Amino acid sequence: MINAKFFIGFPEDYKGICYVYPPTVKEVIGNSKFSIYRSILMISNEDIEDRIIEKEGDITKDTYVPSPFDYVMSLAY
């Protein structure tokens, strides 16, 4: 479980062994893959449809168009 103190930058004592410090906003945003992660999590239905059209050429009534949640879950799998 995430301790609420993590959100304000306080470290968490890990079983008396060491302290775990949360990443700062600068560390998260400064990550070179941040924009990729953000685009995956913020994808819209239109973006998914555009990707299907690019791959298959057109969307018919029989084409399965996943929801953004289904899309993220399939990428995580």
Judge contact between 72 and 43, C-beta under 8 A.
yes
Q: Write out pLDDT tens, residues 44-74.
A: 888 888 888 888 777 777 777 788 888 888 8
The pLDDT, as a whole number, for residue 1 is 60
Q: DSSP string spanning 12-62?
A: EEETTTEEEPPPPHHHHHTSTTHHHHHHHHT--HHHHHHHHHHHHS---TT
The per-residue pLDDT for 20 is: 86
Q: Quick one: pLDDT at residue 17?
A: 92
pLDDT tens-digit readout, 9-46: 788 888 889 988 888 888 888 889 898 888 888 888 88
The domain segmentation of the chain, as residue ranges, is 1-30, 43-77
What distances in angstroms separate CA 45 from CA 65, 66, 67, one per listed residue? 8, 8, 7
pLDDT of res. 2: 64
